[in-house]
Structure 1
Amino acid sequence: MAESKIKNVAVIGLGKMGNPISRHLLNGGFGVTGFDVDPKACKAVACKGVAVAASPGEAAVNADLVIVIVAFEDDVETVLFGDKGVTSRARPGTIVGIAATISPEGMASFTERLSQLGFIPLDIPLCRGERPAEAGKLLITGGGDKEAFDACRPAFATFASSIYRLGPSGAGQVGKMVNNLILWACISANHEGFKLAGKYGVDEIAMREMLLDSSASNWALETQVGRHAMPWAEKDMMIVLAEADRLRVSLPLSGTLKEVIKGIKIERDEHFPYNKPQK
């Protein structure tokens, strides 16, 4: 399968990331079939010409590549292995790319199970957020079989301007985990720095221009991503800390960072998405 040209792609999850990704794939000349549990999300892509299926399995029937973009690890479990999941209808040899941000340990489990069923697993979590998704300028931090990954590059290039393969399956989730740890650290430092500067009445705009030209410059400060809602920040840090516990690695800064992020969200009256417990 990996040697064949990718022609048809199934996108499972048509929300703020899956919607633009499916449109970019379609505009790039790929056949695209999508699925989402939300009828409004399905209608939104159908209006743009994306075919919509009644289940993840149905979406994957003719797919050469399946891209899974759902919120939580147990959602990945359901869309892959549920009664009407991807593996119930997809052809053996289909490449299954997990774009959801999940734990490396979870990815290892999915890799083993998909491989045993004859599928080719890749992990392809996405960085940069919603605006780059709309612009087709996401970053993929990937892992998995090199031949299969390379076969997917033309499809990935329709929605990602930066594509990295970091190693075997699971390496992509490690890359995303480390990216998120550093991102939230920068956002937290920016937040506390400006809070302190504000007490002195320093001009915030001038301060930001100075910092961007200084050794404190960082991507979060440049893009001002920290000014937007951070619905997945706590989930990201839960993954970091759970993996650190599993590996018996001490990450004291990460423990503090999780609480700082929680404090920022409390200040903004932001809530954890859906209040859904993590595994």
Structure 2
Amino acid sequence: MALMDTTDDALARIDTTVAHPARRYNYWLGGKDHFAADRASGDAIAAAMPGVKLMALENRAFMGRAVRYLAEQGIRQFLDIGTGIPAPNNTHEVAQDVDPSTRVVYVDNDPIVLTHARALLTSAPGGTNAYIDADVREPASILSHPDLTATLDLSEPVGLLLVAVLHFVREDEHPQEIIDALTDALAPGSFVVASHATWEYLPEETIAKLTANNPDGRFQPRTGTRFAELLSKFDLVEPGITSVAYWHADDVPGPRPSAEDVACYGAVARIS
């Protein structure tokens, strides 16, 4: 398949001198697929915002709970954009635990994720997984990709995952148009799962340090109000927009961290 042909190209595209969000996130999660630039960037952000590693862990756990919730609602197709480097409890692992026949398409634009795509493509018997090397900012190229159309039936409900990816879409890149393009292609009864970092709980000195570590503005934190606006056309699943640490977390053992410490919103919404 195409994966074999693109692996060498992907390796050639990896720039180890520039931090990448997927590799930095892997570093915060305790993974091994990162380089010095990713660790330096991750450490600088963590120095300014000590809760960022906790945010990464809680965001990952939120994704798992949300995928399981959708699977239990009967969703058997998932489109996971901004997949990141494979880690325990990938989307297909959680969803196919509920129904092994579930089909999943992963999308990411980091070439190192492509080199690990075999792990993502290891489906349960009866299910199907695919991986697309593409960017959330180009939704048409995702929706028209032959691997998507061969794997998912967009006339049937789909679970769209935009987990920890929208905060890498700047306002001048029109995040609402991107969300609309993706969700307009999905059948009624589909769902969207999204999470988004925020700085609104942080003191000014922390924001100043984080801003200094974001010179190109690639990272775009948003308020809860703005996040809600991006999802306003959908029917929010209870409890609506809340901290990723709290969404359907009643059965999570141990005390929950504060919303201020996690600084990341999450939501699941139904597309009618």
TM score, norm. by length of structure 2: 0.34
Higher relative contact order (CA 8 A, sep 6+): 2
- Mark the structure with the bigger radius of gyration: 1
Structure with greater helix share of residues: 1
